Amino acid sequence: MIQIEDLKKRYDQDTVVDISDLHIPRGECFGLVGNNGAGKTTLFQLILDLVRPTDGSVFIEGENVQSSEEWKKITGAYLDRHMLLTYLTADEYFNFLRKIYGMSKEDLQIHITKFEPLFNGEITGYKKYIRDLSKGNLKKVGIASAMMGNKQIVLLDEPFENLDPTSQNRLKQIISNEIGKKEITFLISSHDLIHVTDICNRIVLLEKGLIKQDLKAPKEEMADALNAYFHA
C-alpha cells in the first residue's frame, strides 16, 4: 500500500527525516509516536507530497507520489486547519467535497450519520463558519472530511488533540469501525500513547527522524515498550 525507500528530508544541516525502508500494508492501523521534533508531521507531509524529499521516494500503490496523481483519489488526510476552506460553514464544506468526490446527497448523509456521535449536535445545521468553530470542533470537521469519498488511506495528525475524553473515545470507535468494514489503512500520529495503542496494531517510534522502534501487537507489549522508552 505505502512503500518508503531511502527517504530523507534536510533543512540546511538538520536532517528531520531519515528512513531507509518502511512498508505499510493495506488495512493496517499504523501509529506514529515521538517527542516534539521527531519528524512525525514532516513524514506525513512527505507521504502526501506537500514537501519534497531531499532524497528517496514514497510510493502509494506502486505509484511515486512525486510523479503521479492517481494516489490522491484514494488518499485522505487532515494535518491542520490550513487544509480546510474555513470561510465556509461545515455543511457548505461537506457539500463542496461531495461534488468533488462525485457523492450523492444520500452518500453524504450516510457519511455524516457515522459522525453524528462525534459531532454531538455542534457541527452540522449551523450557519457558523468553520473558522469560528472551537479547536475541537474544527478538528472534527477535518477528520470527517478526510474520510469522505471512499478513501483507502487516511492520514490523521494528532486527531485526539483538543477533543474532550468523550469525543476521543467516540473517534476511536469510528476509526475501529471503518477498519473493520472497509480495510482502510490509517496512519495516525499522536502524543497520546494510550489512545494510539488502543486502536493501532502497529506503532513506529521516531526520534530525530529515525525509526527507533517498530512495534506490533499484542497491544500490551507495545504499551510496555513505549512506556519503558519514554520513562527511561
Q: Which of 177, 225, 184, 176 is nearest to 203 (CA)?
A: 225
What the block records as the C-alpha cell of 206 is 521516531
Residue 155, pLDDT > 90, answer: yes
The structure's pTM equals: 0.94
CB 110 within 8 Å of CB 147: no
Domains of the chain: 2-230 (3.40.50.300)
pLDDT 10s digits, 33-65: 999 999 999 999 999 999 999 999 999 999 999
Residue 182, pLDDT > 80, answer: no
Q: For residues 136 and 117, what is the distance between their CA atoms, to the nearest angstrom?
A: 14
Q: Which band of pLDDT confidence, cut at 50, 70 and 90, is reported for residue 20? A: very high
Q: How far is CA 185 from CA 23, 25, 74, 140, 159, in A?
A: 12, 8, 10, 19, 15
Arithmetic mean of pLDDT, 98-112: 96
Q: Does residue 218 have a cis bond before it (omega within 30 degrees)?
A: yes
User: In the chain, what percentage of residues exceed pLDDT 90?
Assistant: 91
Helices 135-146, 105-119: inter-axial angle, 10-degree rounding: 140
Q: Which band of pLDDT confidence, cut at 50, 70 and 90, is reported for residue 78? A: very high
Q: Which band of pLDDT confidence, cut at 50, 70 and 90, is reported for residue 163? A: very high
Q: Which band of pLDDT confidence, cut at 50, 70 and 90, is reported for residue 66? A: very high
Q: For residues 232 and 230, what is the distance between their CA atoms, to the nearest angstrom?
A: 6
Q: Tell me what pLDDT residue 28 has.
A: 93
Q: For residues 99 and 178, what is the distance between their CA atoms, to the nearest angstrom?
A: 22
Arithmetic mean of pLDDT, 179-188: 86
* CB-based burial label for 23 (10 Å; 0-12, 13-18, 19+): exposed
Q: Tell me what pLDDT residue 181 has.
A: 72
Neighbour tally for 172: CB within 10 Å: 17
Q: From the CA atom positions of the chain, what is the Rg in Å?
A: 18
**Residues in the chain, how many?**
232
The strand pairing partners of 33, in sequence order, are 205
